[in-house]
Amino acid sequence: MVKATRVASDIDRDLRSVQSIVDEVPGYLDEWEGLTAGDQESWAAEWEYAMIGLIPLLQAEFRSGAMTPEQQRVFEVILEAVCPLIPSLSLRDLAIPPR
């Protein structure tokens, strides 16, 4: 089977998606206990998709050189933003991005 190479616009879309949810994290963590179980589960599913689905894909593209320099910079900023959140994410049993 031939593996298709993703284009820059696909990488940009995924970076925007991950950046968007990372930007939401502080607000959700502050309000977590006040959210309904359904809201917690819904947001946790979105977060898990970003951390378990998209981050590994983006990491592979970063390592392979498939990203432009600007995409690499954005990805590094995203990862740096997640690092200080890891203790709070762990306390709520939310997914942590692979290293």
Q: Has this prediction a pTM greater than 0.75?
A: yes
Q: How many C-beta atoms lie closer than 10 Å to residue 57's C-beta?
A: 14
Segment 22-76, tens digit of pLDDT? 999 999 999 999 999 999 999 999 999 999 999 999 999 999 999 999 999 999 9
pLDDT at 77 over 70: yes
Q: Is the dihedral of CA 56, 82, 41, 87 positive or negative?
A: positive
What number of H helices and E strands is found in the chain?
5, 0
